[in-house]
């Protein structure tokens, strides 16, 4: 088995798969090169990845900030690209909701996030 890597921060789980703690504020989604997945609190995730807990906490906060910025920037990106707001695009045809969602996923992936 190879080492653990951070895939992202998630709200899909509030439980640490390593120590069993529940109701966690932040859960780190870890993966291995082999495809194994694990949800861990920041302290346990730091141990798995091999960094200090303080460094993991800083990385998590940085990730959350970058994620929020990317989410906030998407409407501007969309308007610059399509010369209309996301809402106008969706209202113009029902199928456009799915198209807008795909564009959002591609945008977030380009920003380094999985949605």
Per-residue pLDDT reduced to its tens digit, 39-86: 999 999 999 988 998 998 888 888 889 989 999 999 999 999 999 999
The DSSP letter of residue 95 is T
Domain ranges of the chain: 1-51, 63-115
Structure tokens at 68: 């929020």
Nearest Cα residue to 16 out of 51, 48, 58, 57: 48
According to DSSP, the residues that pair with 62 across neighbouring strands are none
Query: In this model, does residue 107 exceed pLDDT 60?
Result: yes
Tell me the H-state helices in the chain. Answer: 42-49, 53-82, 86-92, 96-110
- Can you give the pTM of this predicted structure? 0.70
């Amino acid at each position: 088995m190879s080492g653990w890597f951070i895939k992202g921060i998630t709200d899909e789980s509030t439980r640490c798969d390593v120590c069993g703690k529940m109701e966690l504020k932040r859960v780190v989604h870890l993966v291995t090169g082999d495809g194994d997945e694990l949800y861990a609190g920041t302290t346990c995730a730091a141990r798995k990845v091999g960094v200090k807990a303080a460094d993991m906490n800083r990385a998590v906060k940085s990730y959350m900030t970058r994620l929020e910025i990317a989410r906030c920037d998407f409407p501007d990106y969309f308007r610059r690209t399509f010369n209309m707001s996301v809402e106008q695009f969706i209202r113009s045809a029902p199928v456009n909701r799915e198209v807008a969602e795909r564009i959002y996923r591609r945008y977030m992936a380009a920003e380094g996030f999985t949605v």
